[in-house]
Every structure is written in structure tokens, then in C-alpha cells.
């Protein structure tokens, strides 16, 4: 399995009082022809599928749209922004920032493929660290939302942007080279599962850049094409 695309659900409710949502969606489609858009729901939500770089470009487009809203409208629309922010913490593709209540802190949110996030966390932990920033991840199935929190000062903003760009850089690079293979447990017993886990753990010594992600019913093997192929062939052989 190649990491080619991700599906995110966006809420357009914040724009409802200022723009015709159907027209905005058409503009989004013209702006991002590489993305696939689902139907616009009555509550303003829409599913979007595509590559991380294309979703990031759409994020930037929507941020510019949001910034163009009158300041008084933004304040009046705070009640609409709460469900939008909650949604984006779990599934959204756009970057968000903290509310004015917490003016001393600034938040940015990125959406990553969960397997890429785990691989990055295991092999490139420094990508998820930074000076004067707090980086955390919330996983929801195939999607992990990474929150970058920094001080609201100019220096904090610079550090937050630096951390965001670093994560984006690693995400794009890993997306190009990583593959995933799933190994299901043939023996459903606890002992059978344990034997397979132990065998994979010993085998990993020959494939140090492979990440094994355990689940109740299977193991996900993540790494380069050559490593994943070699690893799974030995397990199944």
C-alpha cells in the first residue's frame, strides 16, 4: 500500500453568513483541481481527498478567505467556529489557531497519515520537537492531527512556523518513499499472536528501518518498498 492520498472532512460553516457555500466549493475545485470533493452537506461539511501537498495548498487558500472576513463578522461568528475547530482537531486539513481567549498562545494544526506520523515519531523524533513549542498528536483512524502550540509573541510565531514547515517537509518526503504491508494473524490464540510478534521483533534486526505497528488482528509493516517486501516475504515464507 502506497501513501498517495488522504481524506479529510472540512466544515465550511464559518463562511455560511458571508459567502454562498456552493459558490465557495466551486472556487475550491477550480483552485485545487487535483483534489476530489464529496457533496456539500446541509451542515456545511464536505469531504476532500487528495495528496498532502494539495490539501496544504487548499488550507492556505481557505486561510486567506477566512482572513478576508470583516473583523466584526469573525467575532459574531465565534459560536460557529467552535464546532469547526473541534472537527479540525480530529479530521480537518486546514491550519487553525487558538482563540482570542488564549491570546498568549498560538496553535497550528496539521493533518498527517497515521502511519507516516508513527514512522516520523519513531525514526525522526526531532521533526516533532522544537524550541519553545509543544507538539502533540491526536489519532483518529487513518488520520492523525498534529497540534503545534507556541507563544503568541513574534519569536513564538517564528518557532511555530519553523516546526510546522519541518513536519510538512518530512511528511512529503516520507509519503514518497514509504509503503505499508499488512500481516494478519493466522493463529487467533494469544500464544499464536505472541509467536508472530516475537518472530517479527527478531527479524527486525535485519530490517532496522522497518516499523512494526501492532493491532489486535494484524501487524502493519511500514518502511521502504525494498524493506517491506523483504520483511514480509520472510515472515510469510
Closest CA to 222 of 143, 117, 136: 117
Measured CA to CA in angstroms, residue 120 lies from 38, 81, 151, 178 at distances of 30, 31, 24, 11
Q: Does residue 75 fall inside a structural domain? A: no
Mean pLDDT within 67-90: 41
Looking at the structure, do residues 18 and 59 belong to the same domain, yes or no?
Answer: yes
Looking at the structure, do residues 167 and 184 belong to the same domain, yes or no?
Answer: no
Torsion, Cα 118 120 124 127, to 10 degrees, reads -120
Measured CA to CA in angstroms, residue 143 lies from 1, 45, 82, 189, 226 at distances of 16, 17, 21, 30, 25
* Structural domain count of the chain: 3
Q: Decide which of 236 and 72 is more confident.
A: 236
Note the pLDDT tens digit of each residue in 152-168. Answer: 788 888 888 899 889 98
* Helix, strand, or coil (residue 103): coil
Q: Whole domain around residue 12: which residue ranges?
A: 6-64
Mean pLDDT, the chain, whole residue set: 79
* Helix, strand, or coil (residue 87): helix
- Residue 2 DSSP code: B
Note the pLDDT tens digit of each residue in 196-218. Answer: 999 999 999 999 999 999 999 99
Tell me which of 156, 177, 198 is where a domain ends.
177
Mean pLDDT within 127-153: 85
Looking at the structure, do residues 118 and 164 belong to the same domain, yes or no?
Answer: yes
Tell me which of 152, 177, 202 is where a domain ends.
177
- Annotate 39-86 with DSSP letters as a single string: PPPTTSEEEEEE-HHHHHHHHHHHHHHHHTS-HHHHHHTHHHHHHHHH
Count Cβ neighbours within 10 Å for each residue of 70-93 and write b for 16 or more, e otherwise: eeeebeebeebbeebbebbbbbbb
Which pLDDT belongs to residue 71? 54
> pLDDT band for position 2 (50/70/90)?
low
Is the predicted pLDDT of residue 95 greater than 80, yes or no?
no
Measured CA to CA in angstroms, residue 158 lies from 106, 125, 164, 188 at distances of 11, 20, 10, 51
* Helix, strand, or coil (residue 141): coil
Is the predicted pLDDT of residue 111 greater than 90, yes or no?
no
- The alpha carbon of 49 is separated from its chain's Cα centroid by a whole number of angstroms, namely 12
Looking at the structure, do residues 117 and 172 belong to the same domain, yes or no?
Answer: yes
Amino acid at each position: 500500500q502506497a501513501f498517495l492520498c488522504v481524506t479529510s472532512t472540512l466544515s465550511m460553516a464559518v463562511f455560511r453568513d458571508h459567502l454562498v457555500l456552493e459558490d465557495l466549493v466551486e472556487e475550491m475545485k477550480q483552485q485545487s483541481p487535483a483534489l476530489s470533493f464529496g457533496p456539500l452537506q446541509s451542515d456545511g461539511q464536505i469531504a476532500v481527498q487528495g495528496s498532502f501537498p494539495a490539501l496544504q495548498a487548499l488550507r492556505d487558500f481557505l486561510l486567506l478567505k477566512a482572513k478576508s472576513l470583516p473583523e466584526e463578522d469573525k467575532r459574531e461568528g465565534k459560536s460557529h467556529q467552535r464546532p469547526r475547530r473541534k472537527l479540525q482537531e480530529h479530521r480537518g486539513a486546514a491550519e487553525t489557531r487558538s482563540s482570542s481567549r488564549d491570546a498568549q498562545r498560538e496553535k497550528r494544526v496539521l493533518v498527517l497519515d497515521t502511519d507516516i506520523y508513527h514512522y516520523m515519531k519513531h525514526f525522526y523524533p526531532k521533526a516533532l520537537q522544537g524550541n519553545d513549542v509543544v507538539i502533540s498528536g491526536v489519532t483518529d483512524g487513518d488520520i492523525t492531527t498534529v497540534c503545534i502550540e507556541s507563544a503568541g509573541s513574534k519569536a513564538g510565531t517564528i518557532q511555530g512556523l519553523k516546526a510546522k514547515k519541518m513536519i510538512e517537509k518530512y511528511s512529503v518526503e516520507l509519503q514518497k518513499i514509504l509503503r505499508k504491508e499488512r500481516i494478519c494473524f493466522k493463529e487467533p490464540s494469544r500464544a499464536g499472536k505472541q509467536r508472530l510478534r516475537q518472530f517479527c521483533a527478531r527479524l527486525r534486526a535485519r530490517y532496522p528501518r522497518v516499523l512494526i505497528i501492532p493491532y489486535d488482528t494484524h501487524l502493519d509493516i511500514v518502511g521502504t518498498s525494498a524493506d517491506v517486501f523483504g520483511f514480509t516475504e520472510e515472515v510469510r515464507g
